[in-house]
Structure 1
Amino acid sequence: MNILSATFEPEDRRARLILRFGRIGLALAAGAVAALAHPPFGILPGLLGYALLMFLSERSTTVRGAFWMGWLAGFAYFFVSCWWVAEAFLVNPEQAWMAPFAASALPIGLALFWATATALYRRFAPAGLSRVLVFAALFCLLEWLRGHVLTGFPWNPTGASWKAGSAASQFASVVGVYGLSFVTVAASSAFAPLLNAGSRKARVVTATIGALALALLTIGGAVRLSSARLVTTPTVVRIVQADVPQASKWTPEAYQGIVDRYVNLTGRPGATTPDLIIWPEGALPASANDVFAPGAPEATAIARAVQPGQSLILGLGRGVADPSTPEGARYFNSLFVLTDEGGEGLRVGPVYDKYRLVPFGEYLPAGGVMSALGVRALTHMPLDFSAGPRPAPIHIPGAPAAQPLICYESLYPGFTPGGAGRPGWIVNISNDAWFGRTSGPAQHLNLASYRAIETGLPVVRSTPTGISAMIDPWGRVVPGQRLDPGESGVIDAPLPAPAAVTIYGRIGDLLFWLSVIGSLSLAVPWRRVIRSRIAVS
């Protein structure tokens, strides 16, 4: 007898404890191994963690038990995926005591989405093998909600387990990362019935279908990549990475040295003269109001480094007067385009204000309540940033129209238009210096690269300390065009041309929603419903 599928009721306390803690251990293991499937770990057999989670949900005798199985698995998953958030609290020694609480609090909250999915599955799942699709639909529906509730935190959805640019990742060009999550969870969970009782033939057939789905995912992506041909535009881009650690940015003595680093890298002679220079988010520890003030030495130094005809993109915070607010102003995290038109210094061109803000980092959800509870003091965030309008392409002199995404926004699919207003590329400036040399920057690069696959557009990514890179329209880092954590330098490269408009670029998440709705309909007892209606009539 398979001990995992045993249905006995232990009579003594010791056996009950062994069974209980065994299930707790298996739930934690399911989440942990699923998290290890993501880059930079890349242990893809960890995807079987979803099969184990489905099995544990079914073996729970109550909905409440299934809820706790999902919560334990989710806690382990998000602890492994997001432990790097603690690094941000180590930047300031006064906040270091908060690091373990931050590393635990985030998984505690995010795990509730997994717990809700497994509880709903235990309550409504059908008895047949179609339950694999129902499990995948409920799980991915709650994952979608995780990416949207309170502006969302869509870090490491299941679909992003596949390294961006790999063969399997290419299916995101058709269904997006959430659709890829549905296929991945369904195919992986198809192995769960092997652990249960029932018809051996049916269980083997289900697992075989899951294996075939994973094989087709890889084969289809390999075919797409076989026809991928990188074509470049005449626009030459310089990505600047000055490698300024976050902990060393906030002293007056360091400020001039930081300005000099960026200015020197901007003006560094190269084999070609760039048309466009990109600095990261938060490159200078100052506000745009100070940097662009008349006579500011920073503006003078930047103007000397930027040649006539060149444009510079950089990210800075800015304040805008607003008498209607208690503070008299509103604050934005913004991307600026500066252009040297020759003889008149730098002109401030398009400005993009970040739309999707980081909860507890850039704004406090339910601010009044949270402030009363003392949460604002803990976050060291005296004021909230304001959200700008929904992302839209901007026009940059000397370059194709670009879709700006600031830092966290690169986690979200669907911001870049795929129709008549489709831009030529995506520019992603980010401040990953908060997270040092943890797994966070590598995972952020992977997630941002999925925006290239979904849209068929290249992504140009600039960060202060890594990972900065030029990403082609298939989500692959262009060889030799990457700066890792700890590296200081520039990437001079021609901007890749867009690939053809993708199916996802045209229809968005439509196929994902059709899959979810169609699969959830399998949980409805249609025969019973039809019979009851006939009886009533």
Structure 2
Amino acid sequence: MNPAQGWPFWLRVTLAALLGALAAFGLAPYGVWVATLIALVLLAPLFLSTETRRRAAWLGWAFATGYFAHALSWIIEPFLVDAERHAWMAPFALNFMAGGLALFWALAFWIARRPDGRPVAQAIFLAVAVSLMECARGYVLTGFPWAGLAQVWVDTPAGQLLSLFGPYGLGALTLLATLPLGAALALRNGFALPTALTIGAACLILGYAVSRPAVIWTDHIVRLIQPNAPQHQKWDPDYAPLFFARQIEFTAAEPRPELIVWPETSVPAWLGSAQPYLNTIADAAQGTPVFLGIQRGDGPQIYNSMIYLNEKGQQQGLYDKHHLAPFGEYVPFGEVMARFGIYGMAATTGHGFSAGPGAALMEAGKLGMALPLICYEAVFTQDVLSAPGRADFLLQITNDAWFGTRSGPYQHLVQAQMRAIEQGLPMMRSANTGVSAMIDPHGRITKALPLGQAGYLDTKLPAPLPPTLYATMGDNPVILMLLALFVPLWLVNRRVET
């Protein structure tokens, strides 16, 4: 008998929320993936103890709310940069974000629960339903896939499966390897299929990890600049010249690299009036090409952009960020919200930044083609998949000063590692306050600057691997496979219910 069956419902809901918070310890900066597995195994008996679909939905919502509240606790940090304007929104943001994202899980629990169904089959159905809801979470509206289950595996052999199945496939495999096993353990029977799923997943992980092609290094030396400008000082007229001078000093340092990368919005002027700054950068670069982040205006529209200065210091490339952060870079119904004093935190007008036309490639001289990603865009695998061609490397510039110094910057870094594994491409990452890093095509950080430290690092650029299966196929095969499992499981459960 399921030991949770006779417990008061309030106790089961409370335990579910605590298990959700425990599961988040698998994410950066903790990386205790065992905690995530234990939480998911123990979640299954609680799910199977629910007497109705409504109670199952509440239990799923409690687990996911605990998980997202812990995982996304960093989200209060941006609201404290300009506390006078935004601090009052911080608790609402965390509560609404955690509770809102948890609705995806609540729906999955509601769909999957059939009180008279077979326990292991119920757990498998739940794993499939939650996996589909996680896909929806990454795509619905603008999507927000932060804290996906696959993120706990990045620094383990299991993370290499991202190159096969992507984040949603690896997340589904995690659920299939844990929830059915938890159901069998709770009831002390029906071990055959859950054990096969768990052992099969482990064998796949170990077998595939050792078969990955070796990383080859090029002779290209890249310099990543990290000025460490705190967000509350970044645009302060008393401090901005100091941060710019710091970046110029790092750019001019010997010996000379073959490419220099400055972080997001690293030039304290709009592009239209920034030529004196660009001339200074070109002089310091001494013939080395530079990628850098800058804001620009085009009539009433403003953009968060990246430009490329070639060997002659001339602007040769331009990319406008297209996947904007809601309430950070823009506010839906901006002019209406502005009447209530609500603006995008990184913008000063109601509408905030405008979105660029989409993913693009930028030429990087003899280093090949770069796929530019500005800050938040590295969170979205679809932004990389939608590129018009295959790049030689991924290039992320970001200003993680918004994310504080606890978990946010590290979780953002992990997602950059995921994109590298998925594509089989190296990733250059220049972050204002850190962590700036070179990431190889296996997602390993080969060299990095610590969070909160000003400096630069010179490092070799790894060569790209052949296109991965995931880079070729994307998310569609995983979604279709999950739907192919969902339909017969739903039909079986429907017959049981009737």
Structure 2 match to 1:508: 474
CA–CA distance in structure 2, aligned partners of residues 409 and 522 of structure 1: 36
1:361-416 deviation line (CA, Å, top 9, x unaligned): 11223446655666448997523211112212221223210111111111111433
1:394 aligns with 2:384: no
Structure 1 match to 2:307: 336
Structure-2 change in CA distance of 1:446 and 1:30 (3 Å): same
Aligned mate of 1:320, from 283, 289, 298: 298
1:157 aligns with 2:148: yes
CA–CA distance in structure 2, aligned partners of residues 388 and 495 of structure 1: 28
* Amino acid in structure 2 at the alignment position of 1:35: A
Structure 2 match to 1:405: 373
1:23 aligns with 2:8: no
1:218-233 maps to which residues of 2 (within 5 A)?
A: 218-225=205-212, 228-233=213-218
Structure 2 match to 1:184: 174
CA contact (8 A) 1:236 1:495 kept: yes
CA–CA distance in structure 2, aligned partners of residues 384 and 455 of structure 1: 32
Aligned mate of 2:24, from 30, 35, 42: 35
CA–CA distance in structure 2, aligned partners of residues 113 and 497 of structure 1: 39
Structure-2 change in CA distance of 1:402 and 1:65 (3 Å): same
Structure 2 match to 1:262: 247
Q: Shift of the alpha carbon at 1:195?
A: 5.0
CA contact (8 A) 2:421 2:442 kept: yes
Q: Secondary structure at the match of 2:254?
A: coil
Q: Secondary structure at the match of 1:521?
A: helix
Q: Secondary structure at the match of 1:233?
A: strand
1:71-470 maps to which residues of 2 (within 5 A)?
A: 71-94=61-84, 95-122=86-113, 127=118, 129-164=120-155, 166-197=156-187, 200-202=188-190, 204-225=191-212, 228-270=213-255, 273-292=256-275, 296=276, 298-308=277-287, 310-321=288-299, 329-341=300-312, 346-367=313-334, 370=337, 375-376=342-343, 381-382=348-349, 383-416=351-384, 421-470=389-438
CA contact (8 A) 2:4 2:12 kept: no
Q: Shift of the alpha carbon at 1:168?
A: 0.5
Structure 2 match to 1:485: 451
* Amino acid in structure 1 at the alignment position of 2:298: V
Q: What value does the CA root-mean-square deviation take over the aligned residues?
A: 2.6
Structure-2 change in CA distance of 1:231 and 1:124 (3 Å): farther
Moved more, 38-47 or 54-63: 54-63
Q: Shift of the alpha carbon at 1:522?
A: 2.7
CA contact (8 A) 2:20 2:39 kept: yes
1:63 aligns with 2:53: yes
* Amino acid in structure 1 at the alignment position of 2:297: G
Q: Shift of the alpha carbon at 1:201?
A: 4.1
1:245-266 deviation line (CA, Å, top 9, x unaligned): 1122122111211110110011
Structure-2 change in CA distance of 1:389 and 1:420 (3 Å): closer
CA contact (8 A) 1:235 1:495 kept: yes
Structure-2 change in CA distance of 1:374 and 1:126 (3 Å): farther
Structure-2 change in CA distance of 1:420 and 1:335 (3 Å): closer
CA–CA distance in structure 2, aligned partners of residues 413 and 113 of structure 1: 19
Structure-2 change in CA distance of 1:264 and 1:520 (3 Å): same
Aligned mate of 2:441, from 462, 473, 477: 473
CA contact (8 A) 1:125 1:135 kept: no
CA–CA distance in structure 1, aligned partners of residues 437 and 201 of structure 2: 29
Q: Shift of the alpha carbon at 1:102?
A: 2.7
Structure 1 match to 2:5: 5
Q: Shift of the alpha carbon at 1:78?
A: 0.9
* Amino acid in structure 1 at the alignment position of 2:491: P
CA–CA distance in structure 1, aligned partners of residues 385 and 63 of structure 2: 36
CA contact (8 A) 2:74 2:407 kept: yes
Structure-2 change in CA distance of 1:375 and 1:53 (3 Å): farther
Runs (5+) with no aligned partner, structure 1: 7-17, 322-328, 530-537
1:490-516 deviation line (CA, Å, top 9, x unaligned): 111221100121111111123312321
Runs (5+) with no aligned partner, structure 2: none
CA contact (8 A) 1:418 1:506 kept: no
CA–CA distance in structure 1, aligned partners of residues 391 and 3 of structure 2: 56
CA contact (8 A) 2:113 2:126 kept: no
* Amino acid in structure 2 at the alignment position of 1:34: A
**Corresponding residue pairs, total:** 493
State the identity %: 37
Structure-2 change in CA distance of 1:290 and 1:517 (3 Å): same
Structure-2 change in CA distance of 1:60 and 1:527 (3 Å): closer
Q: Secondary structure at the match of 1:139?
A: helix
Q: Secondary structure at the match of 1:150?
A: coil
CA–CA distance in structure 2, aligned partners of residues 115 and 267 of structure 1: 54
- Give every structure 1 segment of 4 or more consecutive aligned residues whose post-TM-superposition deviation is greater than 6 Å: 377-380, 526-529
Q: Shift of the alpha carbon at 1:352?
A: 0.8
CA contact (8 A) 1:418 1:505 kept: no
Q: Secondary structure at the match of 2:373?
A: strand
CA–CA distance in structure 1, aligned partners of residues 407 and 170 of structure 2: 22
Q: Shift of the alpha carbon at 1:451?
A: 0.7
CA–CA distance in structure 1, aligned partners of residues 387 and 201 of structure 2: 31
Moved more, 211-220 or 277-286: 211-220
1:332-376 deviation line (CA, Å, top 9, x unaligned): 1111111232xxxx2111111111111111122344665566644
* Amino acid in structure 1 at the alignment position of 2:329: E
CA contact (8 A) 1:134 1:522 kept: no
CA–CA distance in structure 1, aligned partners of residues 339 and 491 of structure 2: 48
Structure-2 change in CA distance of 1:447 and 1:124 (3 Å): farther
1:167-188 deviation line (CA, Å, top 9, x unaligned): 1100111111111011011111
CA–CA distance in structure 1, aligned partners of residues 386 and 322 of structure 2: 19
TM-score when normalising by structure 2: 0.92
CA–CA distance in structure 2, aligned partners of residues 439 and 44 of structure 1: 15
Structure-2 change in CA distance of 1:113 and 1:136 (3 Å): same
Larger radius of gyration between Structure 1 and Structure 2: 1
Structure-2 change in CA distance of 1:491 and 1:417 (3 Å): same
TM-score when normalising by structure 1: 0.86
CA–CA distance in structure 1, aligned partners of residues 374 and 209 of structure 2: 31
CA contact (8 A) 2:293 2:307 kept: yes
